[in-house]
């Protein structure tokens, strides 16, 4: 998973609304609190939230908390082990990311060689920053990682999820004439299921006698998995969740319904089975330090999306649930956001939103909520009625910000994560996400308190099986 810092120029500054010694700068549309030594025109490095600074970078710049000989605070403010950059609320102002002067990199490179727009993660062999992944007691790996060994690649056309990059850092990817679909960004865990050619082996008694591999052949079968790992429902797995039963229950929604060479990609939200714990970690809203937020969303954020902990896997009500006394919500649900077909040449063909909706209606499964689909115009009229050229990235951002904040529109009990913008007129699946600030603050708190890494993020950094392999006990 990619993470980096950005060399930036300070172009916008305003006073902090409740602190005389602080200011608020804006980078990539994000408000970031800085000190009074920062001036318009300065060049520095901006570290987005959800990152981790290297131990050496923090040491050089005195960023880690330390105490004097009497045990009193003597400098720094970052946790010495985590050193994570997160979105926070400080004296009434929200701050997303960290700005540091360019001189903070002097011990790592010749700073005169850096220019605005450069991306930074490693300089001259020294790591500066990385994606922040909470560590469990055993590190990043699965609890039972040492007891697993990967099988051969059994399904070469079962492709992984496409990583969704941040919209704010990819505004140059949009052009006039692009058709863009905006959908709800959901906070769940990734799933994928396909009906694909799976490599199998036929062994005769002679092969077994002489311990030979046998003859390989391909046969269509259903395969399912997380973002990276293919799951085998014939095995018992220890891991991030108590079991994978709920995953396979969600897979059942597609069994016998996919066409040959179809793969469906989806989010699983809610709870880990009947009376199970939440799929995504909860958070005390008091830690957000925003009375209005707590008033709106209660004491605790649980990313339920209308699911109920006491619910089951089988349910049949999809209408206005509030007026149906017989309604029992599911414990977890799937929301499809992508479908593909691999043609006879081995090329991945993307389904359009209309095709996805039709296929999901046929299968009786949900699709992610769509907010709007629009085409980026070449020109617009300003407030004075003057026709001006469109800046595509800014146009998309304004559209996204109409939908990215507020209560989750499905369950209405927690804040929504944000919006996903998909460019429909590209041959490949091209999507960008835009998270709202309140969610970022929650996410930062959850990750800082986590005792184990998120399954998807951990799979992105660990040495795991390649696409199309099955983890074997």
What are the pLDDT tens digits along the chain (473 aa)? 479 999 999 999 999 999 999 999 999 999 999 999 999 999 999 999 999 999 999 999 999 998 888 878 778 899 999 999 999 999 889 999 999 999 999 999 999 999 999 999 999 999 999 999 887 554 444 444 444 444 556 899 999 988 899 999 999 999 999 999 999 999 999 999 999 999 888 888 887 887 888 788 789 999 999 988 888 765 444 445 667 889 999 999 999 999 999 999 999 999 999 999 999 999 999 999 889 999 999 999 999 999 999 888 865 444 444 455 566 789 999 999 999 999 988 899 999 999 999 999 999 999 999 999 999 999 998 888 899 999 999 999 999 999 999 999 999 999 999 999 999 999 899 999 999 999 999 999 998 887 655 656 655 554 444 444 433 32
pLDDT of residue 204: 82
Residues of the chain with CATH 3.30.470.30: 145-472
pLDDT of residue 452: 57
pLDDT of residue 240: 54
Contact present, 56 and 64 (Cβ < 8 Å): no
Determine what percent of the chain falls in helix, strand and coil, rounding each to the nearest 5.
Answer: 20, 35, 50
Q: Minimal CA–CA distance to 193: which of 334, 357, 403?
A: 334
The helix or strand, by DSSP H or E, that contains position 394, with its residue range, turns out to be helix 392-400
**Could you tell me which CATH number the domain at 145-472 has?**
3.30.470.30
pLDDT of residue 1: 47
Tokens standing for residue 237: 């797995």
What is the DSSP-derived secondary structure letter of residue 470?
B
Contact present, 140 and 462 (Cβ < 8 Å): yes
Q: Minimal CA–CA distance to 151: which of 428, 448, 425, 472?
A: 472
pLDDT of residue 36: 96
By DSSP bridging, strand 179-185 and strand 165-166 are unpaired
pLDDT of residue 359: 97
Provide the whole-model pTM.
Answer: 0.87
pLDDT of residue 130: 95
Question: CA-based diameter of the chain, in Å?
Answer: 86
């Amino acid at each position: 998973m990619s993470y980096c810092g950005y060399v930036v120029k300070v172009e916008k500054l305003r006073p902090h609304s409740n602190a005389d010694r602080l200011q608020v700068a804006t980078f990539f549309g994000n408000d970031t609190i800085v000190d009074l030594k920062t001036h318009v025109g300065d060049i520095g490095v901006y570290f987005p939230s959800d990152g981790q600074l290297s131990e050496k970078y923090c040491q050089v710049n005195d960023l880690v908390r330390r105490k004097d000989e009497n045990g009193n605070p003597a400098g720094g403010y970052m946790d010495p082990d985590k050193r994570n950059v997160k979105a926070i609320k400080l004296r009434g102002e929200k701050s997303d990311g960290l700005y540091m002067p360019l001189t903070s990199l002097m011990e790592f490179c010749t700073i005169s060689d850096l220019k605005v727009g450069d991306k930074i993660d490693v300089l001259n062999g020294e790591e500066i920053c990385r994606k922040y992944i909470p560590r469990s007691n055993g590190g990043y790996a699965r609890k039972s990682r040492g007891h697993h060994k990967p099988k051969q690649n059994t399904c070469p056309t079962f492709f992984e999820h496409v990583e969704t990059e941040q919209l704010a850092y990819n505004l140059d990817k949009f052009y006039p004439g692009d058709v863009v679909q905006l959908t709800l960004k959901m906070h769940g865990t990734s799933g994928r299921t396909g009906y694909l050619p799976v490599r199998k082996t036929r062994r005769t008694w002679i092969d077994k006698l002489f311990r030979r591999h046998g003859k390989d052949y391909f046969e269509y079968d259903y395969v399912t998995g997380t973002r990276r790992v293919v799951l085998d429902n014939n095995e018992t797995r220890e891991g991030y969740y108590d079991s994978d039963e709920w995953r396979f229950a969600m897979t059942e929604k597609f069994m016998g319904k996919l066409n040959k060479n179809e793969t469906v990609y989806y989010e699983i939200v809610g709870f880990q089975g009947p009376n199970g714990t939440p799929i995504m970690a909860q958070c005390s809203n008091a830690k957000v330090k925003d009375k209005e937020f707590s008033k709106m969303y209660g004491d605790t954020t649980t990313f339920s999306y209308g699911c109920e902990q006491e619910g089951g896997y089988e349910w049949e009500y999809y209408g206005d649930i509030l007026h149906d006394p017989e309604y029992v919500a599911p414990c977890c649900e799937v929301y499809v956001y992508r479908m593909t077909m691999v043609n006879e040449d081995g090329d991945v063909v993307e389904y359009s939103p209309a095709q996805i909706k039709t296929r999901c209606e046929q299968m009786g499964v949900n699709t992610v909520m769509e907010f709007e689909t629009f085409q980026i115009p070449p020109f617009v009229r300003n407030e004075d009625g003057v026709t001006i050229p469109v800046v595509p990235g800014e146009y998309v951002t304004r559209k996204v910000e109409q939908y990215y904040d507020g209560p989750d529109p499905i369950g209405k009990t927690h804040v929504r994560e944000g919006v996903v913008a998909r460019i429909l007129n590209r041959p490949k699946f091209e999507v960008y996400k835009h998270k709202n600030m309140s969610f970022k603050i929650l996410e930062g708190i959850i990750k800082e308190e986590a005792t184990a890494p998120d399954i998807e993020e951990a799979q992105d950094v660990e040495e795991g099986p390649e696409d199309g392999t099955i983890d074997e006990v």
